[in-house]
């Protein structure tokens, strides 16, 4: 179980252990080329492949990608169905490659909203890759950070109904095991492509102390060079977790 970084100061290295990415800008990438938005999503799948390879080679252990937010159902029906088709296609075509690369796949989010075929493919892909541990690739699909906190709260209260009458016993460590990604450490580095500087309801609980990196680059153009640039930026950050800079320095030299 991951311990909240607001409780304990995690050990951090030059390469982020956990990278979380909001893959944004597919539509604008396509628009700039006079292509339909859906062409941007199709192209974006190649960037996913590249990100998995680059992270694996760099020694990242967890890569979490925001593929479809709980708010993305608001998009036009044909765009939503194309996104679902791409998801199905990727699960059908890419699992063998993930196996070769030692990648374990996880999908987090409210999967009950997906059609049964997609739910089955997700379960099969997770099961096939369950013994891999080179890199944990998590796809957040129909995911929302607020949904995650609520589902964790419901599960916690179902398991420990006595908390309702003893609310003071409820603390961060009670809730953490019920969050979607309880098996992973919290993200060290958040990347958002496409120029917007917002979290859009991604891992809002888990990213309390994550370093935030924003780039104008659209997701379909985001390749190895751009990802390594983000890692380089991360390397220069001083992560204090509430302490002073002097404390961080003295720990580093002791």
Q: Which residues, in sequence order, are CB contacts of 155 under 8 Å at separation 6+?
A: 178
72 given a catalytic annotation: yes
Contact 17, 60 (CB under 8 A): yes
The interface region with ligand IPE, picked from 24-32, 51-59, 150-158, 209-217 by CB under 6 A, is 24-32
Q: Give CA–CA dist 156/154, Å, rounded.
A: 5
Q: Does 200 bind ligand IPE (CB under 6 A)?
A: yes
For residue 98, count CB atoms less than 10 angstroms from its CB and return exposed for 0-12, middle for 13-18, buried for 19 or more.
buried
Sole binder of ligand IPE in the list 54, 55, 60, 66 (CB under 6 A): 66
Q: Give the contact letters, 38-67, x = binds to Mg ion (CB under 5 A), - = no.
A: ------------------------------
Q: Does 68 bind Mg ion (CB under 5 A)?
A: no
Sole binder of ligand IPE in the list 196, 216, 224, 232 (CB under 6 A): 196
CB of 6 to ligand IPE, least distance (A): 25
The position carrying tokens 């020694």 is 59
DSSP state, residue 213: E
24 given a catalytic annotation: yes
Q: How far is the CA of 177 from the CAs of 1, 144, 155, 181, in angstroms?
A: 6, 17, 10, 8
Q: Does 35 bind ligand IPE (CB under 6 A)?
A: no
Cite the active site residues. Answer: 24, 72
Footprint of Mg ion (CB under 5 A):
24
Footprint of ligand IPE (CB under 6 A):
22-28, 66-69, 72, 83, 194, 196, 198, 200
């Amino acid at each position: 179980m991951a311990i909240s970084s607001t409780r304990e100061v995690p050990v951090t290295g030059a390469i982020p252990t956990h990278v979380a990415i909001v893959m944004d800008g597919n539509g604008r990438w396509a628009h700039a080329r006079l292509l339909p938005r859906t062409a941007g999503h199709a192209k974006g799948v190649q960037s996913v492949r590249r990100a998995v390879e680059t992270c694996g080679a760099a020694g990242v252990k967890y890569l979490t990608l925001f593929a479809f937010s709980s708010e993305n159902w608001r998009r036009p029906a044909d765009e939503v169905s194309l996104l679902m088709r791409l998801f199905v296609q990727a699960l059908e075509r890419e699992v063998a490659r993930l196996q070769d690369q030692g990648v374990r796949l996880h999908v987090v989010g409210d999967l009950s909203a997906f059609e049964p075929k997609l739910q089955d493919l997700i379960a099969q892909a997770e099961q096939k890759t369950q013994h891999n541990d080179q890199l944990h690739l998590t796809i957040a699909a129909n995911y929302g950070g607020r949904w995650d906190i609520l589902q964790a709260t419901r599960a916690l209260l179902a398991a420990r109904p006595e908390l309702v009458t003893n609310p003071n016993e409820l603390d961060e460590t009670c809730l953490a095991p019920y969050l979607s990604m309880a098996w992973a450490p919290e993200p060290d580095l958040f990347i958002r492509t496409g120029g917007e500087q917002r979290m859009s309801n991604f891992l809002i609980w888990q990213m309390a102390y994550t370093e935030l990196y924003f780039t104008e680059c659209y997701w379909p153009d985001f390749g190895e060079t751009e990802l390594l640039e983000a890692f380089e930026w991360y390397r220069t950050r001083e992560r204090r977790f509430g302490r002073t800079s002097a404390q961080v320095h003295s720990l580093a030299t002791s």
